[in-house]
Chain A
């Protein structure tokens, strides 16, 4: 169980202006949950998730994992805590000069695991993510979805109980997103790994999360089971997010999560700025990538 208690994170800005990335954030994430943290970019979700493995140290508040206060861990103990929590990233963050196998072996190398044992473990994990035939490739030779699978295998190398997913599907197309989410859901179910999923996409949250928290300007504005939050949103921020989401197509329908909202042609801001042209605007589903012939 992960308990975040009254977390604050303040960055010193220029000319004494402090930026409050997190303000009094308290959350409890139960073992086995797929816990979604949703919000717009800049809302503080990345900072929040980095407080769990202390890549960011909160300015105030406590991080309690399985009953132990880890907020002030240092040295070897801090490294051990981080090793016990897997993490995947938006841009995959694979080591470009290492093979797929070498990437998955990386966390095992860090704790000086014997080479053949580490290699066996890495091969098993790559089978699990269905990349058993790509062990000797380099990341540059793989598609985005395949790279994220490698990253997932790497995150599982230390048999973590918790996995942090930071916008893990934001750089992927719809079909690949679905397959990665399915894989994460399987890992949650089969291996019992608790997932903390950071996303700006309601569709992603809806598909995979059992509970969600909505974060806005560093504050949690709503928290509850996914079904409750979607069917009866309490906070205006959540309602706005839902409304925004339904603008891009049928309410609740699966939508292209590839581009952040601001880059979409059906972005309300863009639509309204086009309005004076007087052309009949049809909110078709076109992303910038498609327009550019991607």
Chain B
């Protein structure tokens, strides 16, 4: 008990700060990644062969960009994007400096997830909507996005957890967070106790997010 008390005295603030940084980075990057990823996923579905507005060239170009974005390892992206990050948020350091590369890393991934969710929507529903005179945008909003909402929510929790993992590397640009604490204290200073504490916090956070995501997805799903 005494150990725990003195441990928290010494590292409580650090871990709380790390947890806060991790949450801010992951949440902000998830939101921005969806701002880019939803239009990207919609465009991939709409322009696909047999889609609502098939467009071979546009579809191929979007597909390439998405694949290129997904093939660059995050740790390299973090460095390569430094000038871009500086241009967008004014600094390449700290939490704001990490959010830009996190967003860029996640957007193509989110785009593919959204594409996947929308592709699962029954083609019969799209045809039914067309038969009532729905236009392309109406079908996107009222059929694709609306009918795939449970799947989109499940995808969002996966995206969040992936970004949570990426954010461990954001320590490289001084963004902090739980992953950074685990590396600096555990790996570089041989302080196993701090590392374990940081890991426990990571596990709890991921579990909570996944459970909340599942719960929400079940709640909005009216299929059973």
A interface with B by C-beta (< 8 Å): 53, 55, 79-85, 87, 89, 91, 93, 95-99, 106-107, 109-111, 138, 140, 154, 157-158, 164
Contact = CB atoms under 8 A, between A and B. Distances in A.
B132 A106 contact: yes
B224 interface: yes
A158 B147 CA distance: 22
Nearest to A107: B132
B65 to A, nearest CB: 30
B127 interface: yes
B168 interface: no
Contact of B125 (A83, A93, A158): A93
Contacts, number: 70
Contacts of A96: 147, 222-223
B146 interface: yes
A53 B129 CA distance: 12
Nearest to B123: A93
B134 A53 contact: no
Contacts of A158: 132-133
B133 A110 contact: yes
Nearest to B122: A93
Contact of B142 (A80, A106, A111): A106
9 contacts: A79-B134, A82-B132, A93-B124, A106-B129, A106-B132, A107-B132, A138-B222, A140-B224, A154-B132
Nearest to A85: B131
A82 B124 contact: no
Nearest to B135: A79
Interface in B116-139: 122, 124-125, 127-135, 138
Nearest to A76: B135
Contact of A82 (B125, B130, B150): B130
Report, as a range, how many residues of chain B touch the other chain: 20 to 34
Across the A-B interface, the 10 shortest Cβ-Cβ residue pairs: A83-B133, A93-B128, A87-B131, A79-B133, A107-B132, A138-B222, A82-B133, A93-B124, A96-B223, A140-B223
B168 to A, nearest CB: 36
Nearest to B124: A93
Contacts of A164: 131
Contacts of A97: 146-147, 149-150, 220-223
Contact of A55 (B130, B138, B143, B223): B130
Nearest to B150: A97
Contacts of A106: 129, 132, 142
A95 B134 CA distance: 14
A99 B223 CA distance: 11
A95 B132 contact: no
B132 A83 contact: yes
A93 B127 contact: yes
Contacts of B129: 106, 110
A83 B134 CA distance: 8
A109 B134 CA distance: 10
